[in-house]
Structure formats: structure tokens, C-alpha cells
Amino acid sequence: MFLLQSVAVALALVMIVGMLFVVLDEVAVRKLRKNPETKSILGMEFVSGWGILNVVHALSWPRSFMGRAEKGPLLFLHAKSE
């Protein structure tokens, strides 16, 4: 019984995180994509929603790590942290 309840709680948390992910896309990243100055620095988007991950990655990781990632051979995959 406890296992069933914990699975239900975990599933509910996953649903809440998914909804917050969609809200972040609608509010923040869409505005950044519409702006011509910021559109080119958000990184490549493989699938829908990948741009959100690029933005979150650029905002949450330390600048020293992002600086190294932005200078590497896979520069086009990363959003600019500045």
C-alpha cells in the first residue's frame, strides 16, 4: 500500500513539474525567441522544448563552466550565459 501511495505522489510531482516546464516555455523562452537580438544566442533547438533546457542550463550553471562550453567545438548547442 505504501509503495502505491509513493508512486502516486511521484507521478503527481512529475505532472506538476511538466506543467511548470510548459509555463516557462510560454512565458520566458517564447519572448526570447521573438526578439531578434536574443534569438541567435539561445542555442540550437533539436526538438520542441529543447530551447527551454538551453536557457535553464545557461542560467543555472556556473559562469566558468559555461564559458568553457561556449568556447568549445559544440558552441552552437549552448545558449550564451551572458
Q: Is the dihedral of CA 36, 41, 21, 45 positive or negative?
A: positive
Q: What is the pTM of this model?
A: 0.53
pLDDT at position 81: 65
Q: Are 43 and 76 a contacting pair, CB within 8 Å?
A: yes
Distances (CA, A) of 17 to 13, 21, 22, 53: 6, 6, 9, 13
> For the chain, which residues score pLDDT lower than 50?
none
Domain positions in the chain are 25-82
